[in-house]
Structure 1
Amino acid sequence: MGELELVGGVAVETYGSGPGVVVVPGTNRRAHHYQELASALAGAHTVHVVERRGRGASAARGTPYSVEVEVDDVLGVLEQTGSRVLFGHSYGGLIALHAGLRQELEALIVYEPGVSLDGSFDLSWLEAFNRKVADGRFVSAMATFLKGAQLLPFKATPVLWAISLLLMFGREERDLMPLTPAELAEVARLDSDGARYAGITAPTLFLGGEKTPSYLTGVLPRLAKIVPQADYAILPGLDHNAPDESAPDEIARQLRQYLVRLGR
């Protein structure tokens, strides 16, 4: 774990030295899941990983909830640390994009942001998921989430599902599950043609993985056309959890290359 400090209502884990980079975790993720990514960047940057509300030492998440509550926290971290580069993963990428709408940045990088364009993010399973969470049936809710989000093999057998859930679903995942419905509801609420993102002024890089379901990567070329200074890349062999689990070193390399290209 990096050095821990509180910024407003959120805890922040800090690694390394150099120009600042703020990292925003995704749904069902904690700051510590990005330790390897932060460590890989720490030789050239000071990396500040946000512990989003409702997690760890951060304050509880209040109601009503919206993505803008998270944006307020991220903007506070950017101001406190003097950082001008922002990276977001999954739902954290959605937060990062909306932060980019409110503040000028030197660079904005997102990996498979939770953006729905013209209904691209199918949330027809959300009602069933919400009922299970409300009833405290968290393992069943996780199964519904993983199937609906296509984050396990499409033809997985019942045995594989059972093994996967046993491996993935611990106490921490159980504690985070009640936070998920409101985040998915924001993805649905913010579904649009994407025109709002034309207001992002920062040089922006959209990244995705070749092994990720197409609904998460298919929006990237569209977003790259909408955002004025944007590029995108689909990385061979990577999946949705590349930044936090399967390939943090490669994602760090992509970030470093992009920032060097920008002279940051």
Structure 2
Amino acid sequence: MQSTRSEDGTGIVYEQTGDGQPLVLLHGGMAPRAYWDPVLPHLESYAAIVPQRPGFGTCLDHPAETSANGVLEREVAYVRRFVDDLEGEPVLFGHSYGALTAIEVATEAAVEAVVAYEPAVLPDGYREQANLADQMEALLENGERREAVKRYVELVLHPDGIDDLDAWLAAWPVWPDCVELADEVLRMNRAVERYRLPVRLEVDVPVAVMTGTHGPDFLRQSARDVHDALPHSRLVEFDGLSHSGPAEAPARIVAELDAFLNS
């Protein structure tokens, strides 16, 4: 583990492997930093950097939100400070909530490009009826942390159902860590439900928006909506991959990342 301290005194812990083009990896709201472990071996030609995000082991306070998107704004500012402290302009590679963060960071920070796998943006019709945050909050208030995170898995990772979900979760290496992150998952879902995609995202650099055919329909639609809102975007759809595409098929994802950055 390494650490840096931004100009405002914020301490940021991160891991870096390899040399080459800086590639900052931002995981989603469900997973711990270890989400990227299957991907890292395929990034030998990059300086892959995984920062410890707010709430995921950092000692940051989370004061009451000052605006509808306050939680997201604080995280974007945190990542922007980290990016500004790096040498050179990095590529941002985000998954889910990390993808939304990466795109928002790129509206102001100096980056070379963005790769966004299924950004956590809710289409208008879906957002109006979304209540996952409320469901999770009710379960957490009753002390049911495991059930709260399980509800997220059911609605986001496996919306079409899965045989013996409890057995699947028990075999999932990061499941215990995900349960520990229940409060952060709730916090991020609340931010996602409040976020409204602008007609145009002011991102001047190239963006590759990725999605999988086996993910939730609303996230596939959101990927298209984000693509349409970006001035310089490429939409890539992976046959057979779900919302966890980067961890499911890291070689395929990195091959597309390479092609995009070298085009």
Normalised by the size of structure 2, how large is the TM-score?
Answer: 0.87
Aligned residue number for residue 182 of structure 1: 187
How many corresponding residue pairs? 251
Structure 1 runs of 4+ aligned residues shifted over 4 Å read: none
> Does 1:134 pair with 2:134?
no
* Pairwise CA distance, 1:119: 3.4
Q: Aligned residue for 1:240?
A: 243
Deviations 1:78-99 (CA, angstroms, capped at 9, x unpaired): 1222243111100101111110
Q: Aligned partner of 2:13: which letter?
A: A
How far apart are 1:143 and its partner, in Å?
2.6
Work out whether residues 54 and 60 of structure 1, in 8 Å CA contact, stay in contact via their aligned partners in 2.
Answer: yes
Aligned residue among 145, 156, 170 for 1:166: 170
Asked if 1:77 corresponds to 2:82, the answer is: yes
Q: Secondary structure at the match of 1:97?
A: helix
Question: How many percent identity over aligned positions?
Answer: 22
1:30–1:146 CA distance, 2 compared to 1 (3 A):
closer
What corresponds to 1:22 in structure 2? 24
1:196 deviates by 4.6
Indicate which of 198, 204, 211 corresponds to 1:201: 204
Q: Do the aligned residues in 2 keep the contact of 1:123 with 1:148 (CA within 8 Å)?
A: no
Alignment deviations for residues 184-228 of structure 1 (CA, whole Å, 9 cap, x no partner):
111111134x3152x111111100111111111112223222211
CA drift of 1:35 comes to 2.5
The aligned residue for residue 218 of structure 1 is: 221
Deviations 1:124-154 (A, max 9, x none): 23312111123320121123222222x2262
RMSD (CA atoms): 2.0
C-alpha distance in 1, partners of 2:90/2:100?
17
Verify: 1:97 aligned to 2:71, yes or no: no
User: What is the deviation of 1:161?
Assistant: 2.4
Residue 116 of structure 1 pairs with residue 122 of structure 2: yes
Distance 1:118 1:36, change over 3 A: same
2:15 corresponds in structure 1 to: 13
Q: CA deviation at 1:230?
A: 0.7
Give the corresponding residue for 1:68. Answer: 73
Q: CA deviation at 1:29?
A: 1.6
Structure number having the greater helix percentage: 1
Deviation at residue 61 of structure 1 after TM alignment: 4.3
User: What is the match of residue 34 of structure 2?
Assistant: 32
> What's 1:48 paired with?
49
3-state SS of 2:241 partner: coil
Check whether the contact 2:207–2:233 (CA below 8 A) recurs between aligned residues: yes
What letter is aligned with 2:126?
S
Higher mean C-alpha displacement, 182-191 vs 165-174: 165-174
Partners of 2:108 and 2:53 lie apart in 1 by 19
Gaps of 5+ in 1: none
Contact 2:214 2:241 in 1 (8 A): yes
Counterpart code for 2:116: V
The letter for the 1-side match of 2:134 is: E
Partner deviation per Cα, 1:50-108 (whole Å, 9 max, x = no partner): 2212223x323422351111111211221222243111100101111110122242211
Q: CA contact under 8 A between 1:108 and 1:203: conserved in structure 2?
A: yes
Q: The residue matched to 1:131 in structure 2 has which SS?
A: helix
